Amino acid sequence: MNDTATANAYLKTKVMTASREELRLMLIDGAIKFAQQALHGLEANDQEEIYAGFSQCRDIILELLNTIKPEHAPDVAKSVKDLYTFMYGELVKSSMKKDQGILREVISLLEYDRETWVLTMSKVAEERNSLSIANATPTQPEQVAAQRSISFQA
């Protein structure tokens, strides 16, 4: 198996076993990577790299936009949708004008979004851990006995 096939197999396994939160993080990382590729292409005047970077980044932004579910927090969902819609428009503008400044702003927004998402994932993990500890079934005999004790009053 060559290096590319090994990398592809690893990536496929990583994606197939990732949680929804981790998948979203992977998408954000991909958007940043491809936006940086487009920026590098603009700096080097490499049309193929420019096209590939912009088109992949736009596709990922659209995927992020289409996967937002407003059921749990409609206000947050609207804000995030507005942010991704803005970034998509800025990507289109940057690619048409070959404007590195606009693209750098989009990269900055994506990096901020990534930082925010990582913090959110940490917070959710903490809450899940504290919930699972609070709801844990006792395993020590003393704990089981304490839960089963019955008080008799005469």
Largest CA distance in the chain: 91
Q: What is the pLDDT of residues 93-123, one digit of tens each?
A: 999 999 999 999 999 999 999 999 999 999 9
3-122 has which CATH code?
1.20.120.340
* Distance separating alpha carbons of residues 54 and 59, to the nearest angstrom: 9
Q: What is the pLDDT of residues 75-95, one digit of tens each?
A: 999 999 999 999 999 999 999
pLDDT (mean) for 63-86: 94
In the chain, the DSSP E strands lie at none
Phi/psi at 149 (5° precision):
-65, 140
* Distance separating alpha carbons of residues 44 and 76, to the nearest angstrom: 38
Helix axes 20-44, 74-97, angle to 10 degrees: 20
Is 16 a residue whose pLDDT tops 80? no
